[in-house]
A = this chain, B = another copy of it.
Amino acid sequence: MVQQNNEFSIIRQYFNASTRTPRKDVALAIGDDCAITEIKANQRLAITTDTLVEGIHFFSDIDPADLAYKAVAVNLSDLAAMGAEPAWISLALTLPKVDHRWLATFSRSFFEILDHYNVDLIGGDTTKGPLSISITAHGLLPRDKALCRHGAEKGDWIYVTGSLGDSAAGLALLQQKRGQNTDTALSQAETYLIERHLRPVPRVLFGQSIAPYASAAIDISDGLLADLSHILQRSAVSASLKLDKLPLSPQLIAVFGVEKAEQFALAGGEDYELCFTVADKNCAKLERELTHIGVDYTCIGQIRSQNANKMIRLKRGAEKVALPDVQGFEHF
């Protein structure tokens, strides 16, 4: 096949959704001025946008397969935090040049994750410019259910999925490695942490499963403390957290030790785990619902009444611990 370099041929060669079986709710996909989609009468839409920019969110030599995966995953994570079922995405891809090997790898990985979550690519824009990927993801919500940030109430238990801090630790390892001239072999634990950074798993089914029982939820993209703060602010409450309950992976502890691991867990970004709150009366139902989901979750604290001076209090056992001076990921 002659390889053409214009926008239309890039879309045709690498992002041709028409060769795939479309979702039933996609009436018209790529190839017209707009896509046309449908939702059922008892559904609402959840819509989110996330951009990844070279040099800010990823290194310029990132494997395009990892990049495509992550660009989709971070958007699906927002849908998961809302309790939505992923449905369609639009891809705005800005590329410095047409690199066919790069595009082939990127698009293969891109459709792999879309297929895994039964999501259709319905449109987008391919332009020349500094490498960046902006995705708008659309999910479906039952009309009466959504996991918002503003529903946490005093007494609710605070949970997180999976383990925290792995992604930030993985990023630190990648940065270390780039600073070295020699190509040292990675331990299994190090490989695990880097994988957690490059391939975060959006908690899609989990989010949908807890939606009827949780009072609030957010995905942890900027670090536990920063993201939990969003729930607390929007719900006008405070929280107490038990440091010794933080779910830390054995790999994280093995590579960095407990103290550093805790810091990563509290302040490290890009875990893409869910943090959610549940009223005491709903905990038993929630646990029953989650039996078959296969994702660990841990109660790490409890919602308290509003406290203007101290939004989050930390304890280790019965002992109070000072809040580390951390902030979520800020790139400006």
Contact = CB atoms under 8 A, between A and B. Distances in A.
Interface in A124-142: 124-125, 127-130, 132, 134, 136, 138-139, 141
Interface stretch (A39-47, A175-183, A189-197, A238-246): A39-47
A6 interface: yes
A131 B81 CA distance: 29
Copies in the complex: 2
A138 B47 contact: yes
Interface in A8-48: 10, 27-28, 31-39, 41, 44-48
A217 B34 CA distance: 11
Given A47-B88, A49-B123, A56-B127, A32 B332 contact: no
Contacts of A82: 32-34, 36
Contacts of A47: 34-37, 88, 90, 122-123, 138
A58 B121 CA distance: 27
Contacts of A37: 44-45, 47
Given A33-B48, A36-B46, A97-B332, 19 more contacts: A5-B332, A7-B330, A7-B332, A32-B234, A33-B78, A33-B82, A33-B149, A33-B217, A35-B48, A36-B44, A37-B44, A39-B39, A49-B90, A49-B125, A53-B129, A54-B129, A92-B92, A95-B332, A134-B134
22 contacts: A27-B146, A32-B82, A33-B78, A33-B81, A34-B81, A36-B146, A37-B44, A45-B45, A47-B122, A49-B123, A49-B136, A50-B92, A51-B92, A51-B125, A90-B136, A92-B134, A92-B136, A129-B130, A130-B130, A130-B132, A134-B134, A136-B136
